[in-house]
Structure 1
């Protein structure tokens, strides 16, 4: 597990992966620039009250709202944009580290994006439901966070990688047999997403990490060696 994580971090030196990171974050920044311009235009059309301090307060609150939304949503938006490139990320990692592998099954951007949207929605909803537990149990909340998000992230990233090599029926069968392994991998991935700044590149590291885990399992786990 640690070896796979180390190799995934080392893969960040791959120029192709750095280009994906740069492009994804640039698209996220461009999206927020559109948001900033839109809100600036909206605030510009707010009818002045005639009270200088009231108008100044409205402008200030509007600016602070934009900054707060940027700080809160940028990691999520960056992650979602980067999610469109997960198949490409996996392909680049395989080409660099496993050059003898046969060509993988193509996974469309639509399928990958749907998976990321499903993951994002499930993560938001379930974590909101778990919010009272996070607040009521200050120490146990770390365990709850890791357990919940480890399952969600581990399953999703496992399927993204496995679907490139296995038929959907085989993926479901293998997923059940390797549940503990990908679950532990998911806990590691959840840790990456929980660290500020690191979470901006977490999808790339998580995908590379799962590729290394999956290829390791294919070589060592008896019921996977046939694939």
Structure 2
């Protein structure tokens, strides 16, 4: 598990994934900016006070809150980004680390977008719930850590597995190895606590789950030469 995490983390910053990392980070930053602007506009609309100095104080506190809240919004933003760049990351990792095995099949764009949007909503709701628990010291951090470990590990593992399996098979595989997948999620979440570094979460999480999926369930045709999978069969490149 730890060796897979170390390998994945090293690949994130290697020339192998540098291009997709830059695209992923740029998109995640853009999404966070849009979300911050929306929250700030809502705050200004709701907080109309009779004294200018109170408006200024609310604006300052709101700005600090947005900065702190970005920690909670990053998982949601990264979940939306993941579906758009998963296949690029997974294919690069597969070619580099498993050159003699067949490549997975890219997911249809429509399915990837719908899955990302659905998961984005779930992660956003969970993390906003954790944000409201700030008044309970310690509890919100625990909820944030455990919830994101489960949600992110589930998302990235199933997306990696679906390159070789149907959605139903990918879900069943995750459930059969629920403990290992969750433990891998615990290795993803610490990145979320580090400002700026947390923007690599989609690329790192995807690379880690590609390695985990290969270790838990070898793909059909592994070791028989590289080539795409079509309906479970390997064809020559």
Q: Tell whether the structures are fold-level matches, with TM greater than 0.5.
A: yes
Q: CA deviation at 1:207?
A: 0.5
Q: CA deviation at 1:67?
A: 9.8
C-alpha separation between the residues in 1 aligned to 2:100 and 2:16? 19
C-alpha separation between the residues in 2 aligned to 1:8 and 1:93? 9
Q: CA deviation at 1:63?
A: 11
Q: Which residue of 1 aligns with 2:216?
A: 217
CA contact (8 A) 1:161 1:207 kept: yes
CA contact (8 A) 1:107 1:163 kept: yes
TM-score by length of 2: 0.69
Q: Which residue of 2 aligns with 1:158?
A: 157
C-alpha separation between the residues in 1 aligned to 2:132 and 2:62? 25
Residues 152, 3 of structure 1: CA spacing in aligned structure 2 closer, same or farther, 3 A cutoff? same
Q: Which residue of 1 aligns with 2:222?
A: none
Q: CA RMSD in A?
A: 3.9
Residues 144, 2 of structure 1: CA spacing in aligned structure 2 closer, same or farther, 3 A cutoff? same
Q: Which residue of 2 aligns with 1:170?
A: 169
C-alpha separation between the residues in 1 aligned to 2:140 and 2:76? 25
More helix by share: 1
Q: Which residue of 2 aligns with 1:187?
A: 186
Answer yes or no: is 1:200 the counterpart of 2:195.
Answer: no
Q: Which residue of 2 aligns with 1:39?
A: none
C-alpha separation between the residues in 2 aligned to 1:194 and 1:109? 31
C-alpha separation between the residues in 1 aligned to 2:111 and 2:192? 22
C-alpha separation between the residues in 1 aligned to 2:97 and 2:61? 45
TM-score by length of 1: 0.72
CA contact (8 A) 1:17 1:89 kept: yes
Q: CA deviation at 1:66?
A: 8.7
C-alpha separation between the residues in 2 aligned to 1:142 and 1:64? 21
Larger-Rg structure: 1
Answer yes or no: is 1:87 the counterpart of 2:87.
Answer: yes
Q: Which residue of 1 aligns with 2:11?
A: 11
Give runs of aligned pairs for residues 103-182 of structure 1, distance below 5 A: 103-138=103-138, 140-182=139-181
Q: Which residue of 2 aligns with 1:40?
A: none
Q: Deviations over 1:39-93 (max 9, x none)?
A: xxxxxxxxxxxxxxx8xxx99x999989986886695686366421111101111
Q: Structure 1 unaligned segments of length 5 or more: list them.
A: 37-53, 220-226
User: 3-state DSSP class of the match of 2:217?
Assistant: helix
Number of residue-to-residue matches in the alignment: 209
